[in-house]
Chains A and B, each alone.
Chain A
Amino acid sequence: MYRVGFGDCFLVTVPDGAKKKHILIDCGVHAQSKFKGIPEAVQAMKTETDGQLAVVVATHAHADHISGFGTEAQTFQDGFTVGEVWMPWLEDLSDPKAKKLHAKTAALADLLHAHLAVAGASADPVVAGIALNALGANGRSPVGNNAKALELLRGGFGDKKRTKYLRAGDELQDAGGIKGLTVRVLAPSDDPTFLSRMNPPEAQLYGLDGNGNPVLDTLLPFAERWTAEAGVLDPAYQQILHEQVAMPLQALALSVDNYLNNTSLCLLLQYKGRTLLFPGDAQWGNWQSWQSEWDSILADIDFYKVGHHGSHNATPHEALDKMTSKSVAAMASTDTVTAFNRGKFPVPYSKLVTAVKKQVGDRYAQSDQIAKAGAPFKPGEAWLDYFV
């Protein structure tokens, strides 16, 4: 686990004979993270791997999981050789179902920007943070980080054929050319029930035109001549009214956020009797889609990458209760984002952290507290090692 701030960057190293093979799972940081360590992490990774990555996984298209592929695109292109790229099938734009959902979500994310532009300085910080994460630091600009990162990932680092889009049920033997490594894809499913739950809200209800483009004028219900100069509300009351009216926008923002989180690739890595679970930022809908397999899978896992930086809504408590193996360890990659705390969504969520610690004992580590990590972990300059 590299310490990148509020984001994910995990390197899984498998001893393949005398050589070591490396799998990179995500490389990104939230634009509002207090600590930002992507350049250092990528440099350290280059040394560690000698620029050889058997697989690059992008669990989902949030900035805090892929921004590094945009900001460090040059380093990745010049300094690394990549064997395969794995992405969730919902990012496969040649799939009509995925394309439709993708377009809808992109339109909603754009719409959030339109609302933020109208709101100006009084914009809700949570909404702003979520919109930023969905689009990347440069927002709607076509050269924004997420767009650039996705271009690199979809393009398979120079060869489109390297990119594989995975869906629930896929099982890769000798995955990524690593002998003996089995990877089971647990999510995202292409089951219609799951997809209907994933379906983002109807965009036009919040002010988009027929093509899904936000049109600022459409937020105005009347011709300009009906606007009055002044009114009767006192400023304090007006302020409460604005806050209350911002709440649904927060709901819209959260629905975009939830949608992207639920596109997360959920991977089970199995190698020589060891099992590692990487759920990305999966939230309830994603977990639920493979709930029937929880019993058979979770009791045996040796490593759990804590979902969504330890937020309140990405680790079902029933699932956590089922991770009963004596050797199970957990790592959370997280940092402070002031806006989330102010918006009453503190991450990591203390009750979850307590519950995880109860389950795994001292085999729990958090990227923002590397020095505090217990004996099973080995700290480095910008990372923390764990030997499974």
Chain B
Amino acid sequence: MPTPAVPADELDREHPKYRALRVYAFDPSRGRRLGNYMTVRVKYEALRGEVKGRQLHVIDYDATNKRYYKPINLNSTAALVEGGLEPSESDPRFHQQMVYAVAMQTIDIFEKALGRDIRYSFGDPDGERNLLRVFPHAMYEPNAYYSRELGALLFGYFKASDDDAGGGLPGGTVFTCLSHDIVAHETTHSVIDTLRSAFMESSNPDVAAFHEAFADIVALFQHFSFEDVVRDTLRRSGGILHRFNLTPRGGDANGSRSGEENKIFIVGEMPEGNPLLDLARQFGESMGRRAALRSALGVPPDPHALENATEPHERGAVLVAAVFDAFFSAFMERSADLIRLARAAAGGSDDIHPDVAARLAAEAARTAQHFCTMCIRAIDYCPPVDITFGEFLRALITADTVLYASDAHDYRETLIQAFAARGIYPDGVTSLGEESLLWDKPMAGTPICPALRFNLLEPDRHIAENRAALEAIVRANPFCFGLCEDDAHDCSTCDCKVPEGERVVKSVNTVIRGGEQRPKVEFVGEIVRSVPLGDDSDVKFSGGSTVVFDSGGKPTMVVYKKLSSKKRRAAQKQFHEVGLAAAPTYVEQDSRQMRLSSIHRGC
């Protein structure tokens, strides 16, 4: 029988699928322990000489010392064969490699979840597609941030505390670009800004906190894809993934002893924190605070936690904790049987069999990926401006319901409970039932937009046309899309007009509904207009709507942030007044656009 011919392009593939690159799983402070030296597979793209791909351009310019550092060539034979350079703190080229790998991976997570490419636009959707510049050693400062103005990620470096550097070298140089978490966090800021540029307008206490929380959520979920680390953690926590302290390897030798005998004699016996829960440990410890920068869990559920939390990271931590609470609960639920079996086999000891640990690790990775994907997909369903945590919950539930009609693993239910346990409730819903959390039906008279198109083979093809088509519909019916400016108007009396030259449709994204149903295309329009807030400052008041259309262009669901809302306008004014009142002297009023650099400073 003749051998079937192998298609030529399979044999002679021009492009590999992945580029293997070595990185730190956490940061240099963990050395080689716990699978900290890790190789990641980054989606392959051609890089010409310098590290300049489709989305990123790594530029190693140091603005404090005003000099460039030598660039890496990721196309060299050695780099291609060996997965780039070995992790090293003293070789800037490894830093460039790691920052590229981790940032690309983070972008990839978003692209996979959304089913489309991330196109950087830096607040200007009309602009040419831009490259995100990445400066691994931008400045001498204990800080890292995304700057829309520069279209760049800036990573700082600094000397660790001399008195108390935790596990690190006192006075040693700390590079924020070598922290997996920090790179993932900052890259996420840049992607969110691309997906929802109005989330940089700090119009209520949740907006800045949401940006921070989301960046932490994406960074933390990445931990659960580090196979070796997760397996090791599971073995030493008896399968309880969220346990704070891990049993020393070889069991808790001192557990049965008491009093004077219960002493630690060697480093191997010291209690070790759960690396999966920590965020940016080296950075936190280098600042002399004896702990990681932030943690996935922090405090036990407290329904009043949000009442007094005003600082963005502090407030954001509540959202992070709610999401991870749900994730860990779901994981426990899914793997309870395995854990029971493992414990029975181990005679009640925590030390579970490696095979079971491997099964559990796979389960954890899958659940983490699912939750992370859920969170990312929810962004398309978020209101276009002025987000609150409660609305994020509604977006989460809506996005997931659209995809999976039945909640087979009770993920949605678990999320609703976890959010409620931390005091996060959506406004204006009558119950916490799933169906009440879905976005509302559009108001009567909302027109259909029959011109929306999608081409599966060329997903980018209709982007501009779709936006123009929806723009025309919205301009003809501003009232139905939340753009009416006067709350005395109704659908028939409204004569509000969108001024010429102002574009209100920021994006129309295509969502492919699949899951357990027949694949179906949906369009999500993001509609925003800004007017002066009216408090004799240059602060903007923004409103509009996020509208979901079915494949025929019929609007099915909507979330309004009406420009006519007196309540919202008053709340925003009050939020800014309180912000000013907190500064007790005659401070200059600035525009209320967030500066991530100052939110991050000294964080």
Interface residues of A (CB under 8 A from B): 115, 118, 201-202, 204-210, 218-223, 226-233, 237-238, 240-242, 244-245, 247-248, 251, 283-284, 287-288, 312-318, 344, 349, 351-352, 355
**CB of A37, distance to nearest CB on chain B (Å):** 27
CA distance A284 to B587 in the complex (A): 12
- Contact A244:B68 (CB < 8 A) given known A204-B171, A231-B61, A283-B585: no
Query: Given A221, A242, A244, A317, which contacts B175 in the complex, CB threshold below 8 Å?
Result: A221
Minimal Cβ-Cβ distance residue in B for A211: B162
CA distance A226 to B602 in the complex (A): 28
Query: Which residues of chain B in 142-170 are interfacial with respect to chain A, using CB atoms and an 8 Å cutoff?
Result: 142-143, 147, 149-150, 152, 154, 157-162
Question: Is residue B90 contacting chain A, with contact meaning CB distance below 8 A?
Answer: yes
Given pairs A204-B159, A284-B585, 7 additional interface contacts (CB within 8 A): A118-B65, A207-B159, A210-B171, A230-B68, A238-B61, A242-B66, A352-B586
- Contact A313:B139 (CB < 8 A) given known A221-B157, A241-B61: no
Question: Is residue B427 contacting chain A, with contact meaning CB distance below 8 A?
Answer: no
Minimal Cβ-Cβ distance residue in A for B158: A205
CB-defined interface of B203-225 with A at 8 Å, one 1/0 digit per residue?
00000000000000000000000
- Contact A231:B158 (CB < 8 A) given known A206-B140, A284-B584: no
- Contact A313:B70 (CB < 8 A) given known A231-B59, A232-B59, A240-B149: no
Query: Which residues of chain B in 288-322 are interfacial with respect to chain A, using CB atoms and an 8 Å cutoff?
Result: 288
The residue in A202, A207, A241, A284 that gathers the most chain B C-beta atoms within 10 A of its C-beta is A241
Q: Which chain A residues border B18 with CB–CB below 8 Å?
A: none
Question: Is residue B480 contacting chain A, with contact meaning CB distance below 8 A?
Answer: no
Query: Which residues of chain B in 548-593 are interfacial with respect to chain A, using CB atoms and an 8 Å cutoff?
Result: 584-588
Contact present for A227 and B586 (CB under 8 Å): no
Contact present for B67 and A245 (CB under 8 Å): no
The residue in B59, B63, B143 that gathers the most chain A C-beta atoms within 10 A of its C-beta is B63
Q: Which chain B residues border A313 with CB–CB below 8 Å?
A: 585-587
Query: Given A118, A202, A209, which contacts B287 in the complex, CB threshold below 8 Å?
Result: A202
Q: Which chain B residues border A312 with CB–CB below 8 Å?
A: 585-588
Q: Which chain A residues border B161 with CB–CB below 8 Å?
A: 202, 204-205
The residue in A226, A237, A313 that gathers the most chain B C-beta atoms within 10 A of its C-beta is A226
Interface residues of B (CB under 8 A from A): 50, 59-71, 90-92, 135, 137-143, 147, 149-150, 152, 154, 157-162, 171, 173, 175, 287-288, 584-588, 597, 601-602
CA distance A312 to B587 in the complex (A): 6
The residue in A221, A233, A318, A344 that gathers the most chain B C-beta atoms within 10 A of its C-beta is A221
Query: Given A209, A231, A316, which contacts B584 in the complex, CB threshold below 8 Å?
Result: A316
Contact present for B150 and A318 (CB under 8 Å): no
Q: Which chain A residues border B64 with CB–CB below 8 Å?
A: 115, 118, 219, 245
Q: Which chain B residues border A227 with CB–CB below 8 Å?
A: 67-70
Contact present for A317 and B141 (CB under 8 Å): no
Minimal Cβ-Cβ distance residue in A for B175: A221
**CB of A357, distance to nearest CB on chain B (Å):** 14
Q: Which chain A residues border B90 with CB–CB below 8 Å?
A: 222-223
Contact present for B65 and A317 (CB under 8 Å): no
CA distance A205 to B140 in the complex (A): 9
CA distance A232 to B49 in the complex (A): 12
Contact present for A244 and B147 (CB under 8 Å): yes
CA distance A248 to B598 in the complex (A): 9
Q: Which chain B residues border A228 with CB–CB below 8 Å?
A: 60, 67-71
Q: Which chain A residues border B154 with CB–CB below 8 Å?
A: 244-245
CA distance A306 to B140 in the complex (A): 37
**CB of B208, distance to nearest CB on chain A (Å):** 18
Q: Which chain A residues border B92 with CB–CB below 8 Å?
A: 221-222, 226
**CB of B186, distance to nearest CB on chain A (Å):** 15
Offer 30 A-B interface pairs, CB within 8 angstroms, sorted by A. Answer: A115-B64, A118-B65, A202-B287, A202-B288, A204-B158, A204-B161, A207-B158, A221-B92, A221-B137, A221-B173, A223-B90, A227-B67, A228-B60, A228-B68, A228-B69, A230-B68, A231-B68, A232-B59, A241-B152, A242-B63, A244-B154, A245-B63, A245-B154, A247-B597, A248-B143, A284-B584, A288-B584, A313-B587, A315-B585, A351-B586
The residue in B66, B69, B584 that gathers the most chain A C-beta atoms within 10 A of its C-beta is B584
Minimal Cβ-Cβ distance residue in B for A345: B588
Contact present for B69 and A222 (CB under 8 Å): yes
CA distance A44 to B283 in the complex (A): 57
CA distance A206 to B601 in the complex (A): 12
Minimal Cβ-Cβ distance residue in A for B588: A312
Q: Which chain A residues border B139 with CB–CB below 8 Å?
A: 245, 248
Contact present for A240 and B50 (CB under 8 Å): no
**CB of B584, distance to nearest CB on chain A (Å):** 5
Q: Which chain B residues border A238 with CB–CB below 8 Å?
A: 61, 63
Contact present for A251 and B588 (CB under 8 Å): no
CA distance A284 to B584 in the complex (A): 7
Query: Given A115, A202, A241, A344, which contacts B150 in the complex, CB threshold below 8 Å?
Result: A241
* Closest 7 pairs (CB-CB, A-B): A231-B68, A228-B68, A245-B63, A245-B139, A313-B585, A312-B586, A228-B70
Contact present for B585 and A221 (CB under 8 Å): no
Contact present for A355 and B597 (CB under 8 Å): no
- Contact A241:B138 (CB < 8 A) given known A226-B92, A230-B68, A312-B586: yes
Contact present for A251 and B601 (CB under 8 Å): yes
Minimal Cβ-Cβ distance residue in A for B135: A241
**CB of A242, distance to nearest CB on chain B (Å):** 5
Contact present for B586 and A244 (CB under 8 Å): no
CA distance A355 to B149 in the complex (A): 36
Contact present for A233 and B287 (CB under 8 Å): no
CA distance A211 to B63 in the complex (A): 26
**CB of B400, distance to nearest CB on chain A (Å):** 39
CA distance A115 to B66 in the complex (A): 12
CA distance A77 to B225 in the complex (A): 74
CA distance A313 to B142 in the complex (A): 26
Minimal Cβ-Cβ distance residue in A for B147: A244
Minimal Cβ-Cβ distance residue in B for A248: B141
**CB of B89, distance to nearest CB on chain A (Å):** 9
**CB of A227, distance to nearest CB on chain B (Å):** 5
**CB of B158, distance to nearest CB on chain A (Å):** 5
Contact present for B69 and A205 (CB under 8 Å): no
Q: Which chain B residues border A283 with CB–CB below 8 Å?
A: 585
**CB of B241, distance to nearest CB on chain A (Å):** 34
Minimal Cβ-Cβ distance residue in B for A354: B586
CA distance A209 to B173 in the complex (A): 12
Q: Which chain B residues border A115 with CB–CB below 8 Å?
A: 64
CA distance A205 to B173 in the complex (A): 10
Minimal Cβ-Cβ distance residue in B for A318: B584
Q: Which chain A residues border B50 with CB–CB below 8 Å?
A: 232
Contact present for B69 and A240 (CB under 8 Å): no
Q: Which chain A residues border B288 with CB–CB below 8 Å?
A: 202
CA distance A339 to B63 in the complex (A): 22
Q: Which chain B residues border A318 with CB–CB below 8 Å?
A: 584
**CB of B380, distance to nearest CB on chain A (Å):** 31
Query: Given A219, A233, A288, A352, which contacts B65 in the complex, CB threshold below 8 Å?
Result: A219
Q: Which chain B residues border A210 with CB–CB below 8 Å?
A: 162, 171
Q: Which chain A residues border B62 with CB–CB below 8 Å?
A: 221
Q: Which chain A residues border B287 with CB–CB below 8 Å?
A: 202, 205
CA distance A236 to B51 in the complex (A): 22
CA distance A317 to B287 in the complex (A): 35
CA distance A249 to B61 in the complex (A): 18
**CB of A239, distance to nearest CB on chain B (Å):** 10
Q: Which chain B residues border A352 with CB–CB below 8 Å?
A: 586
CA distance A246 to B175 in the complex (A): 19
CA distance A219 to B288 in the complex (A): 20
Q: Which chain A residues border B587 with CB–CB below 8 Å?
A: 312-313
Q: Which chain A residues border B588 with CB–CB below 8 Å?
A: 312, 344
**CB of B298, distance to nearest CB on chain A (Å):** 23
**CB of B196, distance to nearest CB on chain A (Å):** 23
Q: Which chain B residues border A219 with CB–CB below 8 Å?
A: 64-65, 140
Q: Which chain A residues border B67 with CB–CB below 8 Å?
A: 227-228
Q: Which chain A residues border B175 with CB–CB below 8 Å?
A: 221
Query: Given B70, B157, B162, B584, which contacts A317 in the complex, CB threshold below 8 Å?
Result: B584
**CB of A375, distance to nearest CB on chain B (Å):** 27
